[in-house]
Amino acid sequence: MKCILKSGYLGFPLFMLFLFISSCKTDYAFQAFSYPPGSEPHKNNWEYASLVIFSSKNPLYVFSKKTVRVKIFDKKKKTLLNEKFFLKSTSVVAEVVWEKFEVFQVTIFEESDRDRRLKLLECTFLFDEEKNKFFKK
């Protein structure tokens, strides 16, 4: 799965996120991913996108309370998942596994240095076809 930030532009959702981030006095970082695997957003061949957003009142690299928000939306900007978690840590990074559409897995790591990662959180979300949303397993 390619990270959207390295391979293209998502348009309106990222623009709105930028406006939101630039209007607050909070540190933010985010990672964006697309589905299906191998899709290239700049070619507009993605169907769904996910954002993992990290925020803190302090700089993100300082040990502090962090908010982690996980969002999934489709091309029509319909939100399929909007979850929020709270962690106390230093620098954080997300890894996403999304090979099958129905199963979305996100793992949050604390990066202490380049060679070591401490797993802080691992969540699996399953798609409910009746409600047309993802829910925590």
Domain ranges, ordered by start, for the chain: 4-136
Mean pLDDT in residue range 79-89: 94
pLDDT at 11 over 80: no
Higher pLDDT, 70 or 42: 70
What pTM was computed for the model? 0.78
Q: Are strands 92-97 and 79-89 parallel, antiparallel or unpaired?
A: unpaired
**DSSP code of residue 43:** G
> What CA–CA distance (Å, rounded) separates 28 from 25?
9
Q: How confident is the model over 23-67, as pLDDT tens digits?
A: 556 788 888 888 998 887 777 888 999 999 999 988 888 899 999
Q: Is 46 exposed, middle or buried (0-12, 13-18, 19+ CB in 10 A)?
A: buried
Encoded tokens for 91: 């620098």
